[in-house]
Structure 1
C-alpha cells in the first residue's frame, strides 16, 4: 500500500562541508537558513533557549542508483556483519532521508548557526525540532560493537 506525499524544504544548509564523508564531522559549523518567503522570525522565537536541534533532511547528493534495500556490510567492511537497510543510518535509503542532532550555537533571525551537523552545503532541510532530553531514549540502551568501532571518529575534528 504505497503512499506518496510532497515535502517542501523549510530551510537549506549554508556553508560547512561540501562533500559527505564517513567521519570527522566534529567542529563543522554551518548555517541552517530558514525559507524567508514562508516564515518570519516568529518561527524561531524561543529557539535560542535550546542547546541542540534535531534536523530531518534529504540526502540530495546521493547517487540514486546506489540504493540498497537488502543486507550489506557497513562501509563494506568484511569484518562486520551483514545488516539490513533498516539497521543502517547511511544515505542508501528508499526516501533518502537523514536525521541529525546538532549543537545550536546562535539564532540570528531565520539563520540558525549550528555545529556538528552531518549534512553538507545545499542540503534541503525538511524539518527542524528542538532537542528535548525527555524525548531521548528511555531504558537501557544497547547496540552491536561494530557500530561503536565504525563511529569512533565520526565526531572527531576534521583531519588537517
Structure 2
C-alpha cells in the first residue's frame, strides 16, 4: 500500500517499579511511578495535574515479541471458549504499532514523578503520552461490550491473594 504513513515518536518518560513482567490478571493495587524525562521537562510540565484523580497513559509494549503478531482473527488468550475476533476487537499487546492505552489512578505528583496505581504497564515501559482523564471525554450514550470480555477481565484489576 503506497499511502502508508510512518511516524517517529519519542518516549517522554518511563515506568519505574511495579510489575517486571506483563501478565494477564491481578493488576489491582499495583503501584508504579511514571518518571518524566528531566532533560526535556521541568516540574512546570506537571503543574495542575494533581487536581485530577486519573490519567490516561499511552505507552509502547516494549517486551512484546514482534513475531507474535496476527493481523487477522484469533481467540482472546487462546481460550477455545471465546470467539475468534480480529486484531481490532482486542486490547492486547499483539498490535501492529505495539501501543497500549491505560487509565490509572494518580496517587501523587512529585516533580516529574507521577505516582500511579493500576497502570498495566511494566517497569521500563516507554511512556509516549500522559493525559489527565476528563470525565467529559468518557463514553456518551449506552455502553455495551461482548460478554467474553467481561468473563476474561473478571480478575484483571483484582488483587492477588498475597497482596490482599
Runs of at least 4 residues off by over 3 Å: none
Match of 2:20 in 1: 18
Separation in 2 of the partners of 1:4 and 1:76? 30
Structure 1 residue aligned with 2:42: 40
Instruction: Give the 5 Å matches for 1:96-135.
Output: 96-135=98-137
Is residue 24–residue 159 contact of structure 1 (8 Å, CA) maintained in 2?
A: no
Name the count of aligned residue pairs: 160
Deviations 1:9-60, CA, capped at 9 Å, x for gaps: 0110000000000000000000000000000000000000000000000000
TM-score normalised by the chain length of structure 2: 0.97
Counterpart of 1:78 in structure 2 is: 80
CA-CA distance at 1:68 after TM superposition: 1.0
**Aligned equivalents of 2:147, 2:62: Cα separation in 1:** 30
| Structure-1 residue corresponding to 2:155 | 153
- Kept in 2, the 8 Å contact 1:53–1:103? The answer is yes
TM-score (norm 1): 0.99
Runs of 5+ consecutive residues of structure 2 not aligned to the other structure: none
